[in-house]
Structure 1
């Protein structure tokens, strides 16, 4: 019976390898169907080999990966069919010391998930499903140059995060971690804290330069925490993600110098909030929030020097060319703490209010130019911070707010802002930029991500 199953797997192997990528000349496709066979084959795998695991459930079985590939010839460990191999309990892979390894197509359920240790660099975790886990995190990344893509994280009800990125020691971060095309769904832990979909760093690592990239991920029902994406490190890019129907916001909770660009947030309780210095937040579309669409954080400290948990005031940040709509105050300058926001710029945004006031709170040495306000009173926005005119936005085929052909936002931006070269559609902005996230074009290529764009079965 075992030989019959191996033969069936081998017959379909050519098509499977075509989906997973091109196999290098001389590399082997090694088919296994039991934990003992998998361990034995991995102990002798060579760069470029593909270890294909037949269907089954491995309960509390931890498989040691002791061999490494190369950048051009990784070792790939893959389920024969996506989702056909299930690790439960404490089962999974021990990647300690293994580099250039691809883990592809498995299910990690009802247990502790998977860890990429700090000495396991340049590995890829792709097209897996993390479902219903009860441990601290479904996936923990501690290693540089890790790629996390096309996975599904779903159905957590216990405290803990779907994906956490940390690093070695007490204060360092894994560098150049790339998180893309993942589906984060139905996080239903209802505690006050500790249920983020992505936690990129920790308070004690906030000054570590991570150079991470979080892009093209879909978050739906990210309700486990007030933060769906929680960045607690420095020098990152968060771009072109979609967050829908979620309690969680996109939050720069700690750290400096992060760029937030081209994200779409629809129908949440809040939108984007940030603390720390020198962030650039541009070309985002935040629609129909019940709370503030954009929060400039105030802090118990001005500039953190202790790697503590205090909020740090948002200073020297640029918020420009965003389109914000909602029923509460669109802009919140959080000024109830000791240090109010300082030297921040609000420029060339469209503020489409459906409540009594567009802004609340105050700050120090704030700057304003080119904003369009319509639908609500100014609130705490000072005179001269905006002009009141109907931006003439219309809903496109994907229900996104875009300027119509006669919108007064077209060509009306008053600041050059060389930090902004594209719009939300990744179209190049001309020298005469439009106000808001979208540079007017009769075509509208950008849309919210859907389940067809992300997860194990997406292209």
Structure 2
């Protein structure tokens, strides 16, 4: 009986405690809102300790303003009902202002911001965020469809804010992915923390404005930001040559991983930054780089770099030349940089006094390069210098090669490496003390981003879907194309095909024939590539004799709206003939605002074109934009081409881009470039390429090859070309196109 009474008493006491708890938090339960109107009303009433909860589902065209004054003990919170189940779509964004605010669990997708930012730590110039946090949010391919329309995804203002465990992936239009602004005193010396974020793939932009993370701007670059960038994962962040662009002072960049990311961590402006314990893994990918140094008093220590293939601005270590008495937005002299205890394993280059010219003539001064471990494949000298380097002292370094560029300060020896438990390589001989510390922690990708959001990438791929058989006849290809999904293959049976409808390419698709099936068409063009589309052609034969009698016809056109997604075009074992019904009949005509990741043509024949094979010259504003990253022509035949085999143009003097790359090898060219409308008077015209190989080609009775260098120190290689009844190659350096 006593036992029953005791149990009853305990239950009563528990009920009383629960009652007190509920009473104590009365009014502090999450405020659930289901519409934008409810949200706007509720946000006006928020007090310290309140939580505003967005209901699961799609919030269309939701411009959220989150304003409040919380305290260190009682934050004001904006949260998803279920993390990852609240989707902000259409023209949505989020602006934060006040203090001690937290935002968590939102996903931005299927749209783009109606303002200049997706998430801003400010409501207006006077209402900034302080001591606030955005965590476990996602911005995934939330792009303006115009690739030249500029916006940013995250902009940090104010002080003492944190951006952590967020998933940021797929920015394709112009504008830095994330930036810290210092444009007012209330945003300077900010002590922001940017940590444990996943910065997923950002494809090559093909122009300036593709940084993944920027801290500061040149205007305020001599001001300290004191931002901590720590334990973030940068995977395939290829937008432009600056992955992280530091344009302020006092920042710490620590413990981050850069995986197969083209470009470099660039100390572009500002002084006194520290770069330490970061991991750069290039995996042999082109243009993968390490750290580029400009300005004064930086510390670069304990970093690990492996299999990087970048040079110059994208070398493992790049030390720039400066401009004497430089203006704030140019290149300040590199002074007092401490480059210590870094491992550079199997790298291509370390570049010194880079950019030396009549303007950038201030060589590095008072710098130390010490206790670093450097290995190159085959023991090739990894150092390159473009000016005097007496202002860099080399001490106690170890390498597997003898350098003629840096003759002292290195112990050259055979270095055997072994993989440690952290996955990095260290000398077997533990008496070698140079290089990165053995206690480096390699951040695991699972430690970054929102744990509930998958890190999957939507890359353009061919031949990963189903094979759809197509029989000869009228519009049978377009009928099959309607059923095709990304990665599918249209397999043409032998025979003749006629198209009265344009073949709209809206997904990656392949069209193949084993016996060169014949295709004719009656319109102004056969294929049109739309945003999201890519095209692979193999074994087909196209006859243009039935095409419409119109100037400016083409086999392939890129839609006039341009392409947000980089497209691919691959052509193999195919032939294209009789493109003569009117003047300027081209094979491929790009459009302004379009960008090809790769255009590759192999073992194919082109004959009787009144226009050009490749027209990639539509970006004419001379801001460093261009229409294709890689253009590769190998073992093709070009005959009776009135225009040019390739017209590639990249204007301006901006140094932020990688390409274009143009490779032409083992091609036969006859009677090319002599049409009356060919104003260039060239069989090939390549302006502003950063990498050009023209090798083992034969040109008969053709206009000359014209190459113009505009920016940087491009790699240009001509070899074993035979020119018969064709003028010599005209190679002009650093002469802007009029």
TM-score normalised per structure 2: 0.52
1:369 counterpart (395, 406, 413): 395
- Give me the whole-angstrom Cα distance separating, in 2, the residues matched to 1:81 and 1:391: 53
State the partner residue of 1:348: 371
1:307 counterpart (322, 328, 338): 328
Indicate conservation of the 8 Å contact 1:391/1:407, yes or no: no
- Give me the whole-angstrom Cα distance separating, in 2, the residues matched to 1:189 and 1:36: 40
Indicate conservation of the 8 Å contact 1:183/1:454, yes or no: yes
Q: CA deviation at 1:330?
A: 3.1
State the partner residue of 1:426: none
Indicate conservation of the 8 Å contact 2:306/2:347, yes or no: no
- Give me the whole-angstrom Cα distance separating, in 2, the residues matched to 1:379 and 1:55: 64
Indicate conservation of the 8 Å contact 1:335/1:363, yes or no: no
Q: CA deviation at 1:364?
A: 3.4
Secondary structure class of the residue paired with 1:41: helix
Q: CA deviation at 1:139?
A: 0.6
Q: CA deviation at 1:119?
A: 2.2
State the partner residue of 1:180: 195
Q: CA deviation at 1:85?
A: 1.2
Secondary structure class of the residue paired with 1:73: coil
Higher relative contact order (CA 8 A, sep 6+): 1
- Give me the whole-angstrom Cα distance separating, in 2, the residues matched to 1:174 and 1:367: 32
Instruction: After superposing the two structures, state which structure 1 stretch, 157-166 or 360-369, moved more.
Output: 360-369
State the partner residue of 2:509: none
Instruction: After superposing the two structures, state which structure 1 stretch, 388-397 or 283-292, moved more.
Output: 388-397
Q: CA deviation at 1:87?
A: 1.6
Is structure 2 residue 415 aligned with structure 1 residue 407?
Answer: no
Indicate conservation of the 8 Å contact 1:321/1:349, yes or no: yes
Q: CA deviation at 1:171?
A: 11
Q: What CA deviation, in whole Å up to 9, does each residue of 1:233-277 have, x standing for no partner? A: 011100000001111311111110000000000116211111000
Secondary structure class of the residue paired with 2:68: coil
- Give me the whole-angstrom Cα distance separating, in 2, the residues matched to 1:107 and 1:402: 41
Indicate conservation of the 8 Å contact 2:190/2:225, yes or no: yes
State the partner residue of 2:52: 51
Is structure 2 residue 163 aligned with structure 1 residue 148?
Answer: yes
State the partner residue of 1:430: none
Q: CA deviation at 1:356?
A: 2.5
- Give me the whole-angstrom Cα distance separating, in 2, the residues matched to 1:379 and 1:183: 41
1:453 counterpart (447, 451, 469): 447
1:250 counterpart (254, 261, 265): 265
- Give me the whole-angstrom Cα distance separating, in 2, the residues matched to 1:172 and 1:82: 30
State the partner residue of 1:12: none
State the partner residue of 1:413: none
Indicate conservation of the 8 Å contact 1:46/1:68, yes or no: yes
State the partner residue of 2:213: 198
What's the C-alpha RMSD, in Å, of the aligned pairs?
A: 2.2
- Counterparts of 1:271-282 in structure 2, within 5 Å, are 271-282=290-301
Q: CA deviation at 1:44?
A: 1.2
Q: CA deviation at 1:122?
A: 1.6
Is structure 2 residue 304 aligned with structure 1 residue 285?
Answer: yes
CA pair 358-236 structure 1, distance change in 2 beyond 3 A: same
Q: CA deviation at 1:327?
A: 4.0
Is structure 2 residue 137 aligned with structure 1 residue 128?
Answer: yes
Q: CA deviation at 1:170?
A: 9.7
- Give me the whole-angstrom Cα distance separating, in 1, the residues matched to 2:157 and 2:194: 13
Matched pairs, number: 400
Q: CA deviation at 1:351?
A: 0.8
- Give me the whole-angstrom Cα distance separating, in 1, the residues matched to 2:380 and 2:445: 36
- Give me the whole-angstrom Cα distance separating, in 2, the residues matched to 1:191 and 1:445: 35
Q: What CA deviation, in whole Å up to 9, does each residue of 1:369-427 have, x standing for no partner? A: 110011x33131132x11112343212355411233x3331xxxxxxxxxxxxxxxxxx
1:380 counterpart (401, 405, 428): 405
Is structure 2 residue 341 aligned with structure 1 residue 321?
Answer: yes
State the partner residue of 1:6: none
1:332 counterpart (352, 355, 359): 352
Q: CA deviation at 1:65?
A: 2.4
Q: CA deviation at 1:58?
A: 1.7
Indicate conservation of the 8 Å contact 2:363/2:391, yes or no: no
CA pair 64-120 structure 1, distance change in 2 beyond 3 A: same
- Give me the whole-angstrom Cα distance separating, in 1, the residues matched to 2:431 and 2:277: 22
- Give me the whole-angstrom Cα distance separating, in 2, the residues matched to 1:451 and 1:60: 32
State the partner residue of 2:102: 102
Instruction: After superposing the two structures, state which structure 1 stretch, 99-108 or 37-46, moved more.
Output: 37-46
Q: Decide which structure has the larger Cα Rg and report it.
A: 2
State the partner residue of 1:116: 121
Indicate conservation of the 8 Å contact 2:196/2:230, yes or no: yes
Secondary structure class of the residue paired with 1:222: coil
State the partner residue of 1:233: 248
- Give me the whole-angstrom Cα distance separating, in 2, the residues matched to 1:228 and 1:458: 26
Secondary structure class of the residue paired with 2:89: strand
- Give me the whole-angstrom Cα distance separating, in 2, the residues matched to 1:458 and 1:217: 17
Secondary structure class of the residue paired with 1:204: helix
- Give me the whole-angstrom Cα distance separating, in 2, the residues matched to 1:171 and 1:70: 19
Indicate conservation of the 8 Å contact 1:172/1:208, yes or no: no
- Give me the whole-angstrom Cα distance separating, in 2, the residues matched to 1:396 and 1:72: 44
State the partner residue of 1:435: 434
Q: CA deviation at 1:124?
A: 0.6
Q: CA deviation at 1:172?
A: 6.3
- Give me the whole-angstrom Cα distance separating, in 2, the residues matched to 1:263 and 1:251: 13
TM-score normalised per structure 1: 0.82
